[in-house]
Amino acid sequence: MSSNCALKELAALIGESARVDHPLGAMTTYRVGGPAGVFVRLETPADIERVVAGLSQVPVPVLVLGAGSNILVADEGFEGLVVALGPGFADMELSSEIVHAGGAVPLPRLARRSAAYGLTGFEWAVGVPGWLGGAVAMNAGGHGSEMATVIVRCGVVDLCTGHEMVLSSADLELGYRHSGLHPWHVVIWAELALNRGDRAESEALISGIVRWRRENQPGGSNAGSVFKNPPGSSAGHLIEQAGLKGHRIGSAMISCKHANFIQADGAAVPVTSSALIDLAREVVAERAGIVLETEVKMVGFTAEQDRQPAR
19 is catalytic: no
Please tell me the total number of residues recorded for the chain in this structure.
311
190, β-bridge pairs: 101, 154
Active-site option among 43, 177, 203, 233: 177
Angstrom distance (rounded) from CA 35 to CA 20? 9
H helices present in 193-301, as ranges: 199-216, 235-241, 269-288
How would you classify residue 152: left for phi > 0, otherwise alpha for psi between -120 and 50, otherwise beta? alpha
H helices present in 191-265, as ranges: 199-216, 235-241
Residues in contact with 17: Cβ distance below 8 Å, sequence separation at least 6, in sequence order: 40, 41, 43, 47, 50
User: Nearest-CA neighbor of 256 among 245, 267, 241, 264?
Assistant: 245
Rg of the chain, C-alpha, whole Å: 20
225 is catalytic: yes
**Rounded-to-10 torsion of CA 230, 235, 237, 240:** 140
**Rounded-to-10 torsion of CA 129, 115, 180, 73:** -10
Active-site option among 114, 225, 255, 273: 225
179 is catalytic: no
> Which residues are annotated as catalytic?
177, 225, 295
